[in-house]
Structures are given as structure tokens and as C-alpha cells.
Amino acid sequence: GAVVSQHPSRVICKSGTSVKIECRSLDFQATTMFWYRQFPKQSLMLMATSNEGSKATYEQGVEKDKFLINHASLTLSTLTVTSAHPEDSSFYICSVTGDPTEAFFGQGTRLTVV
Amino acid sequence: SQQGEEDPQALSIQEGENATMNCSYKTSINNLQWYRQNSGRGLVHLILIRSNEREKHSGRLRVTLDTSKKSSSLLITASRAADTASYFCATDPIQGAQKLVFGQGTRLTINP
């Protein structure tokens, strides 16, 4: 299966700053990547679909200006949390989809906004 | 997207016992998948069962699918302490554009 690397694994930032999370597909060319958010002891909530070379598709209720997604190549998608606030603290996970729809996940990023 | 339902939300058993988790969903699907998540980590794919399959095995895992009831179960036999994790079902809806819909998850604890 695909190997997905997510960086950083943990980040602490000050309120009001921006944080960039990288998701790399190491051995698989991914035209589509998915970004999820997970609160403690809860399930994954899909935030957006990252599309290589075009705009991301955001799920209802997700602010596109706050969660900027860039998918500039077939192996890299980035999620930037802009003007972060404590309520943005969460676990963010990316994935790529293989065949048929088996998902391969990154290790996740624990974001803490102080 | 609508979340599937899983039960129980938490399950604690003794090592060596079998663990059964259930998942229900709402829409017609192409397939249903089960994933495992260790605390603070990403998800790992365990098994996929297609909509035209009723049962599938992989090692100590057994998955069933009942599309008429829109439900699935995951059985882990002869549990081990290392099986302690959260388990999620995920459905691939027929009109979902590759977007998986995850259940709420079951937190499984295996006591040595």
C-alpha cells in the first residue's frame, strides 16, 4: 500500500499565528488527498478534499479561508491553519486513497494552540 | 457527511477472549472497511469487504456484512494486549466520490 508521511507530528503555536502541516505520498502519485480533523475520543471528520493542480473542495461548515489547502504536486498537499485559536487545537490527519477505496493515512499532527 | 454508528463505544475484555464490534450505516455502499487507530496515531487499514460479499477473514479478524440491515461486525478472536486500540468502520458510499464515511469508533481495551 501507499506510504504517507505527515509532518510535523506535534506542533505548539501561539494564538494568532499560522501553522503549516505537510502530507507527502512517498510512493504513490495522488491526484486527490483528504484532510480530516479528529477531536479526542471522537471519529474522523472530513474537512476537505485536496485536488492536485486545482482548488480544494471543502466540506460544509469548514472555513476555506482559515484552513488553506495547497496541492501543488502529485506527492505533496499542505494544510495551513491561519490565525490559529485555541479552538483549532486538534488532531489533523491526511490520507490518500488507493484501489478500490482503501485509505492510507499519515501519522497525524497534534496541534496545540496556546 | 453523516457518521455511521458503532457499538459498543467502549469494550474491555480479558486477553484471550473474543471481541465483537458492530457498525451500522445509512446509505448504499460499494464496500465497507475497518481501520485500527492506536492512541495519537494515524489509522491503519485492516480489512475491506465489498457490498456483494457477506463474510471475510484475515488472520484473527472476521468481518461480516449484511447490506439488507446496513450493518457490519468485526470479530477479533483470541485477543491480545497489543490489540488495544480504537476501531473504526468506514463506508464507501455509491455516490460518495471516494469520500469514506467513518463510524464513531469502538475503544477496545484488552486486559492482560
pLDDT, tens digit, 9 for 90 and up, residues A31-67: 899 999 999 888 999 999 998 888 999 999 999 999 9
The set of cell numbers assigned to B68 is: 439488507
Confidence class of residue B93 from pLDDT cuts 50, 70 and 90?
A: confident
Strand ranges inside A9-114, DSSP E: 10-13, 19-25, 32-38, 44-51, 57-58, 67-73, 76-81, 90-97, 103-105, 109-113
Residues of B whose CB is below 8 A from A99: none
Q: Which pLDDT belongs to residue B6?
A: 85
Q: What are residue A88's phi and psi, to 5 degrees?
A: -85, -10
Candidate from A43-57, A81-95, B49-63 with smallest mean pLDDT: A43-57
A34–B45 C-beta distance less than 8 A: no
- Tell me what the pLDDT averaged over chain A comes to: 93
Confidence class of residue A92 from pLDDT cuts 50, 70 and 90?
A: very high
pLDDT, tens digit, 9 for 90 and up, residues B59-75: 999 999 999 999 999 99
B3–A46 C-beta distance less than 8 A: no
**Strand order in B55-58's β-sheet?**
B5-7, B19-24, B71-76, B61-66, B55-58
To the nearest whole angstrom, how far is the Cα of B72 from the nearest Cα of chain A? 17
More confident position, A98 or A27:
A27
CB B54 within 8 A of CB B44: no
- The letter for the amino acid at A91 is F
Q: Is the predicted pLDDT of residue A10 greater than 60, yes or no?
A: yes
Candidate from A29-33, A93-97, B78-82, B96-100 with smallest mean pLDDT: B96-100
- In angstroms, rounded to a whole number, what is the distance separating the alpha carbons of residues A56 and A48? 7
Buried b (16+ CB within 10 A) or exposed e, B51-61: eeeeebeeeeb
Residues paired with residue B62 on neighbouring β-strands, in sequence order: B57, B75
- In angstroms, rounded to a whole number, what is the distance separating the alpha carbons of residues B62 and B47? 9
Q: Which pLDDT belongs to residue A40?
A: 87
Confidence class of residue B2 from pLDDT cuts 50, 70 and 90?
A: very low
Who contacts A20 (Cβ-Cβ below 8 Å, separation ≥6)? A78, A79, A80
- The letter for the amino acid at A72 is A
The set of cell numbers assigned to A75 is: 506527492
B27: Cα within 13 Å, side-chain hemisphere: 18
* Any A CB within 8 A of B103 CB: yes
- In angstroms, rounded to a whole number, what is the distance separating the alpha carbons of residues A57 and A22? 18
What is the arithmetic mean of pLDDT over B32-47? 94
